Amino acid sequence: MSLKTFVKINRVTNLTDARFCAGMNADLLGFSLENDSPHFLSPKNFEEITGWISGVNFAGEFKHSSAEVIKEVLEQYSGITWIESEQLEPLIKLKELGHHLIYKKNIEEVLKLEKDLGKVLKDNSITLHLTSTQNTLEPDDLEVIRTYSTYCNVLLGFGISVSNVEKLSENESIHGLALDSGDEIKPGLRDFDQLAEILENLEIED
């Protein structure tokens, strides 16, 4: 079984989510590695979770850390091959590490940035992860995605639903989808209804 498009699962905090999403053949699991994040995962918990799963890549997620801090943090987390940051400068500096890089940005802010952003992303092989304060996908948003897809891979992180996920997976401008994981109700118990339906709609039947 595989999925129709690249799928990243954001801010994973528990083994239940990790095993479920890996079992559904998600491509990338993201973990918040800044200790002031509400979804922070300690090195010990990261090791415990990732030790139980295989066949999926891991991303370290950062919001405000410098390149130097990110390097130090990654030394405590074995197996991370992707770095996601909401700051562009650290990613450019970290290119030398050889990790896959993701720039996470609100689409409304992207519209205000310099027009050479696309070239910077292309020159540094950085994927663009677009989010939004609104949970709806408008025609103007699709145009922004189309424009930036000519420079780099674009991950869509908003406006995704059970009803539209198949159509989004067929959009050639969208390299993949970024979906939020959730919190356990109690250890080992989690309501997967919406996430499960979205992933099931992305399954390719054998």
Q: Facing residues of 2 across strands?
A: 204
| Phi-psi label, residue 68: left if phi above 0, alpha if psi -120 to 50, beta otherwise | alpha
List the domain boundaries for the chain.
2-204
Q: Which residues pair with 58 in a beta bridge?
A: 29, 80
- Measure CA 114 to chain center: 23
DSSP element (H, E) containing 9: strand 6-10
> Residue 109 is inside which H or E element, if any?
helix 107-110
Residue 126 phi, psi (nearest 5): -105, 130
Q: Consecutive 10-residue runs of the chain (206 residues): their mean pLDDT?
A: 94 92 96 96 97 96 98 98 98 97 95 82 97 92 94 96 95 97 51 80 87
2-204 in CATH: which number?
3.20.20.70
Per-residue pLDDT, 176: 98
